[in-house]
Chains A and B, each alone.
Chain A
């Protein structure tokens, strides 16, 4: 399974390689390859990570293997023994800026390739995703962070935001391994942002992001939801 998240400097960002444990034995990945990419898709590093480990400290990983100061896309290529893992469990992550009053975040890392093993047999379209924002006044700036894990082709991504009955469309093209943050206006013609949708030919890396208006600290970092079943 190929999954990806984004690391920003200044955050404590810990990834649980295997969330699931059983009482009798620790379950391990067969292998794990990690790759780091900049916003334009340049490969920055392929640091070695022990597949038998529990936690990967993304801050240490990025600091020790790159001099990147901008956001880095971190790609996890995990291989599973099907006898040990009848399905392919997600990686999970903890995210917090030290000394920030914002609460820590815990989220499932976006699985982009191989999240639906053939034996599961599900054929739901999962490349249309949506996120509904909470009601009430915003005290945050919202955006989506998108990445392309294709090997050969770019992807055109449509981002639709809804304000009352109005819909605003944006489009971004992502070449292989590129990533972008797309800001979402909190209001349009005095109507509040209520929903965002992302559509693409194939599944991409996508997170909805909220930053505190006063400090910029992350207060939301989560996957969107598929709505075509």
Chain B
């Protein structure tokens, strides 16, 4: 969906990604990097209000984790 040639935005670690489970981009990045996603207690990330699903899938793909819920 990103136009060809455009730069994909780099998620900033301090950004609150999921407002329901209070997961930040930094927590997600760290967990993905160490193979620990989903973190215990954060399994509902993306599944409650659903508002963050697009951003969550984008970040998971960006951090090298299979982008599914």
Contacts and interface: CB of A to CB of B under 8 A. Distances in A.
Q: Do A and B bind each other?
A: yes
Interface of A: 1-2, 111-118, 120, 122-123, 125-127, 149-155, 173, 201-204
A1 to B, nearest CB: 6
A114 B19 contact: yes
Interface of B: 1, 8-9, 11, 15, 18-22, 44, 47-55, 57-59
Dominant secondary structure of chain B at its interface with chain A: loop
A112 B51 contact: yes
Contacts of B19: 1-2, 113-114
Contacts of B50: 125-127, 202-203
A202 B54 contact: yes
Given A113-B19, A153-B1, A122 B48 contact: yes
A202 to B, nearest CB: 4
B38 to A, nearest CB: 12
A152 B20 contact: no
B58 to A, nearest CB: 5
Contact of A118 (B44, B51, B52): B44
A151 B57 CA distance: 12
Contacts of A201: 53-54
Nearest to B25: A151
A173 B54 CA distance: 13
